[in-house]
Amino acid sequence: MTKRFRMAFTRLLSLCLATALGGAAGAAGFTADPSQSRLEFTGVQAGAAFKGVFHKFTAAIDFAPDALASSHFDVQIDLSSVDSMDKDRDTTIRGADILDVARFPTAHYVTRGFTKTATGYSAVGALTLRGVTKDVPIDFQFTQSGAGAKLEGSAQLKRLDFGAGQGDWKSTEWVADAVKISFSLILKPRS
Amino acid sequence: MPTRLSSGRYSAVAQAFHWIIAALIVTQFVLANLALDLPLGVHKLALFARHKSVGMTILMLAVLRLAWRLKNPAPPLPPGMSPLERLLARATHTAFYVLLFAMPVTGLLMSSAKNYSVSWFGLFTWPNLIGQNEAAFEALRTTHDWLSYVLFAIAVLHILAALKHHFWNKDDVLLRMLPLAKRRKL
């Protein structure tokens, strides 16, 4: 074998190997453990921040750092499970003028693509909330631990983009338009 | 301009504290009663937000006023008052000072217990003094309400006493707290 041929052969062999390995390392399927996971939002009311959580949600997470193309998040949030640690505020949030949970009981987030960032990963996805579907990017970190993983991240959205604020609540003077979402999901392998 | 006059008048600083805080307290009663009449909503939220900002302003002024008052004693009460009247005057003034702190502090505690942090006109946020607690909120609301009735009652007493001094005793107790008044010749 000439030296040239040997080099070409090696290149071909490594390409085959890489393809085989890449194919094997598809995105692993996880589901969020509801008892350890937390989905939180922070709003600003009369100049002061307040936090709330959604107690009930399901998250089907297919993710692998080396298989971003086949990664996929599908998150469903039961909006009536909102808890901002005040019943008056929760009633208002569930009401027709804000989330209108009677007509739109769930929010749905589905990703379309992922990119690697300096600190972690970024996803582009569509959030359907109150009958409106709009892109909301999220930034997150993914930490594998054993068979499970931890997914931590945040997103920013504007509540009025989704109509979450009708009538008097359309004003942003006393309740800010911007709402921060943050999440910490403990992922378990999906069976 | 000297801050304390020897004539027995209240100084300009003392008068400023008195009248600014008095005006803010009247504002507080108006805002609270307007807000309480409203259903849950943006307008109620807005009125209570202003009530809280004004309340925190009173708390900050109360700190300054108390510090100032401790260094600058009030002019003496006029001669001729009975021991009971003197006791009543001192008790009323002391109660005002206690309430200047107790009203905003119970208000801030209420907001903390209900998990509504208090912003000062949107410029900064006061720390929550206690965690969310519905039972504590109810108890604090009752306390805040009752203290407001006490405040209202002693304010009425205070005003009636000032008028009595002015029109009945014809002394300078009212005039010495009025910014533009001349000292009455006794």
Which region among A80-84, B3-7, B46-50, B177-181 has the lowest average model confidence (pLDDT)? Answer: B3-7
Q: Is the pTM higher than 0.80?
A: yes
Interface confidence, given as ipTM, is 0.79
A146 or B23, higher pLDDT: B23
Q: What is the pLDDT of residue B8?
A: 80
Residues whose CB is less than 8 angstroms from the CB of residue B114 and which lie 6 or more positions away in sequence, other chains included: A86, B132, B134, B137
Residues whose CB is less than 8 angstroms from the CB of residue A100 and which lie 6 or more positions away in sequence, other chains included: A130
**By C-alpha distance, which of A117, A113, A187 is closest to A152?**
A187
- Chain A residues with CB under 8 Å of a chain B CB are 45-50, 84-89, 91-92, 168-169, 171, 173-175
- Mean pLDDT in chain A? 90
Please check the confidence at residue A188 and state whether its pLDDT lies above 60.
yes
User: Could you tell me where the DSSP H helices lie in A128-191?
Assistant: none
Which region among A21-30, A35-44, B73-82, B129-138 has the lowest average model confidence (pLDDT)? Answer: A21-30
Stretch A100-110: mean pLDDT: 98
Residues B53-67 have pLDDT tens digits of 999 999 999 999 999
Please check the confidence at residue A23 and state whether its pLDDT lies above 50.
no
Please check the confidence at residue A25 and state whether its pLDDT lies above 80.
no
Report the gap between the CA of A22 and the closest CA in chain B (Å).
50
Q: What is the pLDDT of residue A5?
A: 61
Cross-chain residue pair B122–A173, CB shorter than 8 Å: no
Strands (E), B100-163: 119-120, 124-125
Please check the confidence at residue A4 and state whether its pLDDT lies above 90.
no
Between CA B84 and CA A39 the distance in angstroms is: 63
